[in-house]
Amino acid sequence: MIEKYLDLHSEVKHAIANNLAVVALESTIISHGMPYPQNKETALQVEEIIRNNGAVPATIALINGKIKVGLSIDEIDYLGKSGSKIVKASRRDLPYLLSQKIDGATTVASTMIAANLAGIRVFATGGIGGVHRGASQTFDISADLQELANTNVAVVCAGIKAILDLELTLEYLETYGVPVLGYQTNELPAFYTQKSGFNVNYKMDNAKAIAQLLKTKWNLGLKGGVIIANPIPKDKQLDYECMTDAIEEALIQEKQLAIKGKESTPFLLSKVKELTGGSSLQANIELVYNNAKLAAEIARAYATLKKL
Ligand code: PSU
Ligand code: MN
């Protein structure tokens, strides 16, 4: 039944069937998260990094009425070139887009759904959506958090994006029982910086220990995801004060332009990029590479454990 909607690339299908390491990748980061051609180049390089670290990449998107798991270079180019013209597809968008055969780029939430349907347990991205600043008025809370509460996929990210309300996002995750792990750090990274001023729940020092935690959680029937917060490399991070200023300014402009809903995150990311003279884009690319490598290591460790 599910085959009607799910289209696994032959390489991904083979890897899943043989319990090899696979890493899921989202496509909103390609279409809405970065400009062309850097988005395409980054997406292809991320796949390369995952391969070089012993796992099979599976970039996910909605193409012609199917959830495609594993894309061709042409499909990645198409997503990159389409940019915001392609629909940003989260959980609520899947039924409409698939039944109408409208193409879409998957967010963290919908990529988790697809990965889970395909049997992929590890997913790499840049940053997750969260509770937006001012959410007590706007109610703007990303569907990514509900997905983390419910869907058994581990998400490797560079922490919680500094454009969000980190404190409320951590509270929300606590309520829904989503573990927030810090890879070799006690401090929650804030995407562009290692520093955030908040702590993770647990510091974990290697991929094997993380894989064991994942196995334990799901063996116990504790449904839902896990956040693995991997700090941007020290020499690639941006200045904390400088980022704080750029984010404040982006939030003011968002309010003035009355930007809301699904447009909010892409607007803030591109505004921050503009205000930092492009340096935020470079940092964004570097942190995604860093996450791809760790996700491949975790996927490998998890595949080994599954065999035991
Ligand atoms: N973080 C990035 N780039 C992105 C996103 C997050 O650095 O493009 C995307 C992800 O796809 C994430 C989505 O799932 O933004 C969250 O959007 P919203 O806040 O509307 O749920
Ligand atoms: Mn939102």
236-290 pLDDT tens trace: 999 999 999 999 999 999 999 999 999 999 999 899 999 998 899 999 999 999 9
Residue nearest ligand 1's atom 10 by CA: 107
**Residue 199's CATH number:** 3.40.1790.10
Specify the pLDDT at position 278.
Answer: 86
Instruction: Spot the catalytic one: 40, 68, 88, 161.
Output: 161
- Residues in the chain with pLDDT values less than 70: 307-308
Specify the pLDDT at position 308.
Answer: 65
223 and 150 in contact (C-beta within 8 Å)?
Answer: yes
Q: How many Å apart are CA 156 and CA 274, to the nearest integer?
A: 26
What are the pocket residues of ligand 1 if the criterion is a CB atom closer than 6 Å to any ligand atom? 26, 28-29, 32-33, 90, 107-108, 126-127, 129, 142-144, 161, 262, 265, 269, 284
Number of domains the chain contains: 1
234 classed as catalytic: no
User: What is the 166 CA–ligand 1 centroid distance (Å)?
Assistant: 15
Please state, as a whole number, how many other Cβ atoms lie within 10 Å of the Cβ of residue 175: 10
85 classed as catalytic: no
Specify the pLDDT at position 120.
Answer: 98
CB proximity list for 240: less than 8 A, separation 6 or greater: 193, 195
Specify the pLDDT at position 161.
Answer: 85
Domain extent at residue 248? 2-307
